[in-house]
Amino acid sequence: MVLHKGTASDPDRKTGANPLYAGAYPALAANIRLPHDSLAEDPLPPDTALQLVRDELMLDGNARLNLATFVTTWMEPQARELMAECVDKNMIDKDEYPQTAELERRCVNILADLWHAPDPTAIMGCSTTGSSEACMLAGMALKRRWSKLGRTGKPNLVMGANVQVCWEKFCEYWEVEPRLVPMDGDRFHLTADEAIARCDENTIGVVAILGSTFDGSYEPVAEIAAALDGLAERSGWDIPVHVDGASGAMIAPFLDPDLSWDFRLLRVASINTSGHKYGLVYPGVGWVLWRDKEALPEELVLNVNYLGGDMPTFALNFSRPGAEVAAQYYTFVRLGREGFRAVQQASRDVATQLADGIAELGPFRLLTRGDQLPVFAFTTKPDVEGFDVFDVSRRLRERGWLVPAYTFPENRTDLAVLRIVVRNGFTHDLADLLLADLRRLLPELDHGPRRRTAFHH
């Protein structure tokens, strides 16, 4: 921090007053440069520090217009107030904060009920910092169960190429061979036949995604489980399924109640979800549940003596705030089943109507339409030569809309798409504004940079 000439005579330094209780000096902030590499010598009044940092954060995009992220960007003021009251509680210290631990237990029980656990009293589960940690824990349990079978080969995990990168991290960190099923043609996710073709006696599990971050589609969990049942009968390989329901596990129970994807399928050993996605809570909180104690080897759960209490723990992180767990429980209390259904249905309705509106514009082809996750992907039609999806993304950003453009994974890198994620708080009105901006941009895009670039070539 650099104080310009004439500002070094800070009254607090003369009087010896505690700077944490100093008042604001209106002209002070204008003469200060924020520290980039090392701490400044002197403190600042709280209001001044707040204003300086807040000013820089104005350069961030508007989170409500961020159609790239799955993460919750709006909660009620009451939820924000509750989180502020709980942010200083260390979630791991269950002896000192027993009621926060009780709220975590209740959330696990509620999720077990939503996901049709056969015996709620036998369910095992915990909160995490997000789905990435939850997937790591689920993967560790799969590998440990496999290792108890006495197999000598290298363990492998079967999944589609559309999985979230945390699964590739798991395989790298825990020395598991990732068997990724590539996309092919118009097949953008894992199918039962493709999964079975890659399984062997060293397969620790199959990961099914509900639903894919690439296009919002659900993978056919029931078909995959049935195919694995058949494989077990023929070969004796008892391969479990983990459902990565980072988003869909908080959509399907309310909007697709007849869809079999959860613990109703005997082969599903564990499920994770992100409370901070369609669980409607600010980041970061995730959840992972196992069907029963057999699905989670007991040696992975450690008993820790911490601050006078003996407590079981299974986590990669230790200390973390209890605010998000309290917020998740608040959301369960606040909405109930019907409230969740209404919120998620509203998001799906906005997604499907926006997808239909984009299809009607003419230049675009839908890959999905938002009728599973409220998420859809679209690309330009083959005869569109004046612009591509990256041009569209760039021009929408000028209006504040953050709509990602990206290519699909290996084997379909020829396909580039735009993806829109509709979350709670993205209304029909905002969708109409986005559609109007897109319609207004199309004539300009058709005579835009790609054509000029092609001309130079």
- For 89-138, the pLDDT digits (tens) are 887 777 678 899 899 999 999 999 999 999 988 889 999 999 999 999 99
Q: Average pLDDT of 255-262?
A: 98
Q: Which fold has domain 346-456?
A: Aspartate Aminotransferase, domain 1 (3.90.1150)
pLDDT digits (tens, 9 = 90+) for 154-173: 999 999 999 999 999 999 99
Q: Which of 140, 195, 131, 142 is nearest to 173 (CA)?
A: 140
Question: pTM here?
Answer: 0.89
The CATH 3.40.640.10 portion of the chain extends over 77-331
pLDDT at residue 314 in the model? 78
Q: How far is residue 40 from each of residues 1, 5, 23, 27, 48, measured CA to CA in Å?
A: 5, 16, 19, 18, 14
Q: How far is CA 373 from the centre of its chain?
A: 13
Q: Average pLDDT of 253-264?
A: 98
pLDDT at residue 277 in the model? 97
pLDDT at residue 60 in the model? 87
Q: Which of 301, 323, 297 is nearest to 311 (CA)?
A: 301
pLDDT at residue 15 in the model? 42
Q: In which band, very low, low, confident or very high, does the pLDDT at 179 lie, cut at 50, 70 and 90?
A: very high
> Quick one: what percent of the chain has pLDDT higher than 70?
89
pLDDT digits (tens, 9 = 90+) for 14-69: 444 455 544 555 566 667 788 999 998 888 888 888 888 988 998 887 888 899 99
Q: Which two tokens stand for residue 301?
A: 């759960």
> Do residues 88 and 321 make contact, with C-beta atoms less than 8 angstroms apart?
yes
pLDDT at residue 404 in the model? 95
| 185-189, 237-241, 306-310: the lowest-pLDDT one | 306-310
HSE-CB at 396 with a 13 A cutoff on CA atoms is 26
Amino acid at 125: G
pLDDT at residue 296 in the model? 92
Q: How far is residue 158 from each of residues 336, 391, 403, measured CA to CA in Å?
A: 36, 36, 31
Q: Average pLDDT of 250-270?
A: 98
Q: In which band, very low, low, confident or very high, does the pLDDT at 2 lie, cut at 50, 70 and 90?
A: very low
> Do residues 159 and 198 make contact, with C-beta atoms less than 8 angstroms apart?
no
pLDDT at residue 200 in the model? 97
The CATH number given to 77-331 is 3.40.640.10
| CA distance linking residue 205 with residue 3, whole number of Å | 59
- 363 contact partners, CB below 8 Å, separation of at least 6: 380, 381, 384, 442
Burial class from Cβ neighbours inside 10 Å (0-12, 13-18, 19+) for residue 257 reads exposed
pLDDT at residue 6 in the model? 42
> Do residues 111 and 273 make contact, with C-beta atoms less than 8 angstroms apart?
yes
pLDDT digits (tens, 9 = 90+) for 76-97: 999 999 999 999 988 777 767 8
Q: Average pLDDT of 378-391?
A: 95
pLDDT at residue 20 in the model? 52
- pLDDT of 457 above 60: no
Q: In which band, very low, low, confident or very high, does the pLDDT at 240 lie, cut at 50, 70 and 90?
A: very high
The CATH 3.90.1150.160 portion of the chain extends over 346-456
| CA distance linking residue 61 with residue 59, whole number of Å | 6
Query: What's the first-to-final CA gap in the chain, in angstroms?
Result: 48
| CA distance linking residue 111 with residue 117, whole number of Å | 9
pLDDT digits (tens, 9 = 90+) for 277-313: 999 999 999 999 999 989 999 888 877 665 555 556 7
pLDDT digits (tens, 9 = 90+) for 318-338: 788 899 999 999 999 999 999
Whose structure tokens read 């009087």?
15
pLDDT digits (tens, 9 = 90+) for 338-372: 999 999 999 999 999 999 999 999 999 999 999 99
| CA distance linking residue 137 with residue 145, whole number of Å | 12
Amino acid at 209: I
Q: Average pLDDT of 265-269?
A: 98
Q: How far is CA 430 from the centre of its chain?
A: 22
HSE-CB at 23 with a 13 A cutoff on CA atoms is 4
| 42-46, 312-316, 422-426: the lowest-pLDDT one | 312-316
Residue of 15 and 449 predicted with greater confidence: 449
pLDDT at residue 4 in the model? 45
